[in-house]
Structure 1
Amino acid sequence: MFEFITKRSFFINLLAAIVLVFLLAFIFFSTLGIITHHGQTIQVPDIRGKNLKEASAILSKAGFDAVVRDSIYADTLSPLAVYDQAPEGGAVEKVGRTVYLTINKTVAPMVAMPELVGLTFRSAQMTLESRRLKVGDTSYQPDFATNTVLKQMLNHKPLKAGAEVPEGSAIDLVLSSGTGSIEYPVPNLVGLTYAEAREALTASNLGIGVVLTMGAVSDTAGAFVVRQSPTQVNNLGDANTVRAGQAIDLWLSSSKGAADSTAKP
């Protein structure tokens, strides 16, 4: 009799355990949809341009998680502002989904300045954009190669190619306006040092063409101009003229020598 009772108790306990397992499974699967927000969707807030802390709070309140995936530098945004998001704002997504953010860096990275001198304005603009730089102020001065870059500057100072500049910097360009329509007398450069001749040509909106040396010249800046083309006067003794932007070829020598016989007395 006791054996019968023991066996009966065991089967009752086993049955109770099975019923309990099924009951727990039923409760779990019944509430799974509530726990996981199954079937619940909502529009993703557009948080582009907002500070990271504020954007995270907005997403959390709407039922989304926020994770910073990448960073970029844009000088139009404040540091740590959201530059982009995925999914995009307005997209209908499941509650609890992760929204990946691209934020703006706090410090602009440095990039190497490209060589723009000699390029057309359009080519220079494209080159700057490829380095995440932009065109600043543009000005013009006479030169024979119309609309090409003559100088590149940052903060009104000449900027050499290869120099490190902050990403997003505005690079000022001096462009060629072409040769002028008004003709001016050719200046007499013979007897001047190369440095003096260069300053005189710049002041007259003229350029330096071919520079040749006569004999050994160790210091180009201190060498003397002994010949120029075009000369100040022609073979008939009439004054030669040039237009702004044109170039004058120079011959240099270590000694001053005699004055150019073609120079106007």
Structure 2
Amino acid sequence: MFKVNSFVDVLKHLAVMAVIVAALIFGFFYLYLPSATNHGETISVPKITGMQLTDAEELLDEQSLRYYINDSTYKPDQKPFEILTQDPAPGAKVKEDRKIYISINMKNPPMIKMPKLIDGSVKNAELILKSYDLRKGKITYVPDLQQNAVLKQFVNGREIKPGDMVPKGAVVDLHVGDGLGNTEFEVPNVVGMPVDEASILLAGQGLQVGNIFYDPSSTEPTGTVVKQRPFAEVNAKIRVGELVDLWVSGQESVQGIE
């Protein structure tokens, strides 16, 4: 123990202790701690998005960095195990042994439930497919009165019902109604009928009046159908929804019919 003979000796002892404490503090914070934590030494994070996982792992290992997969998804237009995102971003300054959080592209697509496209329009089907990460494939128009309506949905040639499991990113082919139907019947004969009655008869059979042409030189009573196309010939067939053009006697201005 120090022997204290006077007040001056006390001051000397306190001064020595203060120097020792200051030296310890300086040594810990400015010598030991920086060397233990690599103070001031940082690593620039490399860009690993777009790389394969094995290549990225090798690159990070060379720079004394680690990685952690915190997410995965499936993108059909990118390679399996391709790195999609990283955090921290490329160029960020980090310390040695820092974890780089990444998301990767899965090798196999996850299975999802097929949405209901049937009875909706093609445009609506496209929006639904996109929201489910599915892709629109071939559109085939088939005879049906529902024009532009989705009738059936297929994946790899197999009809898929709503709720069936399909791979995410699958290509979905559609059968769509052409608005005509496939029921054929004989062409009705409306020649000789007043144009308004002919229009009612055609509509009643699921047909549409097409173009109306007026013939002022006709000797038939004004407003009479004098010709039609298609013609009402033997074995002539027509389908629901098709058009029938009419030729009508008289002037268009007189009839006022478009």
- TM category (shorter chain) comes to 0.5 to 0.7
CA distance in 1, matches of 2:45, 2:240: 61
CA distance in 2, matches of 1:62, 1:178: 65
Partner of 2:185: 186
Q: Describe the superposition over 1:109-128 as per-residue Cα deviations: whole angstroms up to 9, x where unpaired.
A: 21111121111112112212
3-state SS of 1:84 partner:
strand
Contact 2:184–2:238 (Cα < 8 Å) also in 1: yes
- Going from structure 1 to structure 2, the CA distance change for 1:101 and 1:186 (only over 3 Å counts) comes to same
Runs of 5+ unmatched residues, structure 2? 5-9, 187-204, 207-231, 243-258
- Going from structure 1 to structure 2, the CA distance change for 1:7 and 1:42 (only over 3 Å counts) comes to closer
CA distance in 1, matches of 2:68, 2:183: 67
- Going from structure 1 to structure 2, the CA distance change for 1:144 and 1:104 (only over 3 Å counts) comes to same
CA distance in 1, matches of 2:76, 2:39: 41
Q: Describe the superposition over 1:168-218 as per-residue Cα deviations: whole angstroms up to 9, x where unpaired.
A: 2111112234439xx99528xxxxxxxxxxxxxxxxxxxxxxxxxxxxxxx
Aligned length, in residue pairs: 191
Question: Please, what is the CA RMSD of the aligned residues?
Answer: 3.8
Return the offset for 1:24: 4.1
**Correspondence list, 1:76-91, <5 A:** 76-89=77-90, 91=91
Q: Describe the superposition over 1:225-258 as per-residue Cα deviations: whole angstroms up to 9, x where unpaired.
A: xxxx78xxxxx99767433778xxxxxxxxxxxx
Indicate yes or no: 2:2 matched with 1:7: yes
Partner of 1:119: 120
3-state SS of 1:173 partner:
strand
CA distance in 1, matches of 2:124, 2:99: 42
The TM-score with structure 1 as length reference comes to 0.56
Return the offset for 1:163: 0.8
Contact 1:142–1:245 (Cα < 8 Å) also in 2: no
**Correspondence list, 1:124-143, <5 A:** 124-143=125-144
Partner of 1:94: 94
CA distance in 2, matches of 1:56, 1:24: 41
CA distance in 2, matches of 1:80, 1:132: 19
Indicate yes or no: 2:238 matched with 1:242: yes
Partner of 1:28: 28
- The one-letter code sitting in structure 1 at the alignment partner of 2:92 is V
Contact 1:138–1:174 (Cα < 8 Å) also in 2: yes
Runs of 5+ unmatched residues, structure 1? 1-5, 188-228, 231-235, 247-265
- Going from structure 1 to structure 2, the CA distance change for 1:108 and 1:14 (only over 3 Å counts) comes to farther
If you compute each CA radius of gyration, which structure gives the higher value, 1 or 2? Answer: 2
- Going from structure 1 to structure 2, the CA distance change for 1:175 and 1:46 (only over 3 Å counts) comes to farther
Return the offset for 1:38: 4.7
- The one-letter code sitting in structure 1 at the alignment partner of 2:121 is T
CA distance in 2, matches of 1:61, 1:21: 41
Bigger shift: residues 91-100 or 155-164:
91-100
Contact 2:69–2:103 (Cα < 8 Å) also in 1: yes
Q: Describe the superposition over 1:20-65 as per-residue Cα deviations: whole angstroms up to 9, x where unpaired.
A: 5543432332244465455556653221232223223323434544
CA distance in 2, matches of 1:99, 1:45: 10
